[in-house]
């Protein structure tokens, strides 16, 4: 039979921190989690409240999880991020970078100071979270250009379409490809063709702000989504992009190669009659082929 003293030693030796928290967010008890490689010190938390330690928004989230665990009496599993910079403490020991936690929250069948309480176990899952994020990034990225791939584009366009339907916020779509790439591949080889495609990716990345996204749709065809941008603004952006492509090709490729490289662009904006993002994407694609038929190296609106 383990004694009370031995049980206290077991709780203190827990590799991950465990907290007993009241409904109002008071730290009733704190155990374990003393490895400074993975956790910040929990000294001094006893008697304080979550609202004393983190921002109002973060505290509200913690209290919401506690209330849910009390109401459902089921084990809750939640992932969340917490940085030492977000915590109101003078503690300097422990990791400097933000930590991702897996919290396991379970109602306890007793009260403290007339308040129901939960057990909150917090495990550092930062390494796993970072690995999962890296794998998601790799699965969404075109290896040759570093742009997003078709899978990621379709997911983002679906989100932008829903946003348009719900909030009437515009999204414009550019579809473009390289004129005469087959000629380049046939005469100079696919390695040179790949260099041109990589140059397009480089220019796209340098031309977009945080909202816009570019993807390699397949082969030498690319798509750019511009949320919160209407068609007229997208046309201005397309002309800017055209100029950057031309300047880059003339500067970094031989004259004989630069003279045959150009880009044709089709543009469309999601509109109320669209039944899905695919409808707008097809209009932009149709506009691209209008630009091709009109002589290439130009921009057309669909």
Question: Residue 119 sits in which domain range?
Answer: 4-132
**Given pLDDT bands bounded at 50, 70 and 90, which one contains residue 139?**
confident
Mean pLDDT of 268-273: 96
Pair (173, 190) in one structural domain: yes
**pLDDT exceeds 60 at position 90:** no
Establish whether 156 is a catalytic residue: no
The backbone torsions φ and ψ at residue 216, rounded to the nearest 5 degrees and listed phi first, read -90, 110
Domain end (from 108, 132, 156): 132
73: left (phi over 0), alpha (psi -120 to 50) or beta: left
Rounded to the nearest integer, the mean pLDDT of the chain is 90
Pair (124, 147) in one structural domain: no
Pair (160, 270) in one structural domain: yes
Mean pLDDT of 26-31: 94
Pair (52, 125) in one structural domain: yes
Report the alpha-carbon distance of residue 121 to residue 105 in Å, rounded: 6
- From the candidates 142, 177, 179, 220, give the one annotated as an active-site residue: 220
**pLDDT exceeds 80 at position 84:** no
The total number of structural domains in the chain stands at 2
Share of the chain above pLDDT 70, in %: 96
Kindly write down the DSSP assignment for every residue of 233-259, as one continuous string: HHHHHHHHHHHHHHHHHHHHS-HHHHT
Q: What is the pLDDT of residues 91-136, one digit of tens each?
A: 556 567 888 999 999 999 999 999 999 999 999 999 998 888 877 7
**pLDDT exceeds 60 at position 266:** yes
**H/E run at residue 33:** none
CATH number for the domain spanning 269: value is 3.30.70.270
Q: What is the pLDDT of residues 174-210, one digit of tens each?
A: 999 999 888 888 888 889 989 999 999 999 999 998 7
Pair (53, 110) in one structural domain: yes
Report the alpha-carbon distance of residue 265 to residue 178 in Å, rounded: 9
Pair (255, 177) in one structural domain: yes
Q: Report the range out of 11-15, 50-54, 158-162, 253-257 with the highest average pLDDT.
A: 158-162
The backbone torsions φ and ψ at residue 20, rounded to the nearest 5 degrees and listed phi first, read -100, 120
pLDDT for res 177: 93
């Amino acid at each position: 039979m383990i004694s009370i003293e031995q049980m206290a030693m077991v709780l203190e030796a827990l590799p991950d921190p465990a907290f007993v928290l009241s409904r109002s967010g008071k730290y009733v008890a704190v155990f374990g989690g003393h490895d400074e490689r993975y956790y910040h010190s929990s000294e001094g938390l006893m008697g304080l409240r979550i609202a004393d330690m983190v921002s109002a928004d973060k505290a509200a989230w913690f209290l919401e999880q506690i209330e849910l665990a009390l109401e459902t009496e089921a084990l809750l599993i939640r992932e969340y991020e917490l940085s030492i910079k977000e915590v109101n403490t003078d503690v300097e020991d422990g990791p400097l970078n933000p930590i991702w936690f897996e919290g396991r929250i379970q109602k306890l069948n007793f009260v403290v100071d007339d308040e129901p309480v939960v057990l909150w176990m917090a495990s550092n899952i930062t390494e796993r979270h970072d690995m999962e994020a890296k794998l998601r990034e790799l699965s969404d990225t075109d290896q040759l250009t570093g742009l997003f791939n078709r899978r990621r584009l379709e997911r983002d366009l679906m989100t932008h379409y829903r946003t348009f339907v719900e909030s009437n916020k515009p999204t414009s779509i550019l579809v473009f490809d390289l004129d005469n790439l087959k000629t380049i591949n046939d005469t100079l080889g696919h390695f040179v063709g790949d260099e041109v495609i990589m140059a397009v990716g480089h220019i796209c990345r340098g031309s977009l702000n945080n909202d816009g996204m570019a993807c390699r749709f397949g082969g030498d065809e690319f798509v750019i989504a511009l949320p919160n941008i209407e068609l007229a603004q997208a046309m201005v952006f397309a002309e800017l992009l055209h100029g950057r492509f031309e300047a880059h090709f003339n500067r970094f490729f031989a004259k004989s190669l630069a003279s045959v490289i150009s880009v044709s662009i089709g543009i469309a904006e999601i509109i109320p009659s669209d039944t899905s993002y695919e409808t707008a994407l097809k209009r932009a694609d149709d506009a691209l082929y209008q630009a091709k038929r009109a002589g290439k190296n130009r921009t057309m609106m669909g």
